[in-house]
Structure 1
Amino acid sequence: QEGKILAIGPGRWDEDGKKRIPLEVAVDDKVIFAKYSGTEIKIGDKKLLILSEKDILAVVQK
């Protein structure tokens, strides 16, 4: 599956829970992800997918 990053969160916490680790993807990146990954939501008439960064297989365009 392929998609475009519309929004990102603040990143994940390190193992100690003291520092945030920034995400490697950015808004507008085109990515490839596994077919059954993420959680599908509907906002208005748009279907969106919420993914964890670990579910992204590749960034194909930055």
Structure 2
Amino acid sequence: MNLQPLGDRLIVEVLDEESTTASGIVLPDTAQEKPQRGKVLSVGPGPRDEDGEYIKMDVEEGDEIIFSKYGGTEIKLGADEVLILRESDVLAKVVTTGGKGKRKLAGAAA
């Protein structure tokens, strides 16, 4: 099944967080926090302005994002689970810099 999000919604693949503590203890699923990081799979056309024209969204397909903990709706697509979010549920976009895979927040001072 293929999905095309409508309006200001996006389809996100939830990325699993680390399941062990710093000391090496493996955490069961029930003890883990709900993931808040994902990869954008598909983006809707965006919201409309007063004239009916689409407003371009700030996120694009392929972006890695941080989203609100309890935002969105979980949908099962075959064996995969995806999340349908509104653009307003996206808190930040993960931006990688050129050096050794370190990640930096967009707009943060160096």
Give the TM-score normalised by the residue count of structure 1.
0.91
Unpaired runs of 5+ residues, structure 2, are 1-35, 97-110
Answer yes or no: is 1:36 the counterpart of 2:70.
yes
More strand by share: 1
Q: Percent identity among equivalent residues?
A: 48
Choose the corresponding residue for 1:2, options 37, 40, 48: 37
How many residues are aligned here? Answer: 61
Structure showing greater relative contact order (alpha-carbon pairs closer than 8 Å, 6 or more residues apart): 1
RMSD after superposition:
1.2
> Whose Rg is larger?
2
Distance 2:70 2:51 in 1: 29
Give the TM-score normalised by the residue count of structure 2.
0.53
Equivalent residues in 2 for 1:1-62 (5 A)?
Answer: 1-14=36-49, 16-61=50-95
Structure 1 residues 41 and 17 mapped into 2: Cα distance closer, same or farther (>3 Å)? Answer: farther
Unpaired runs of 5+ residues, structure 1, are none
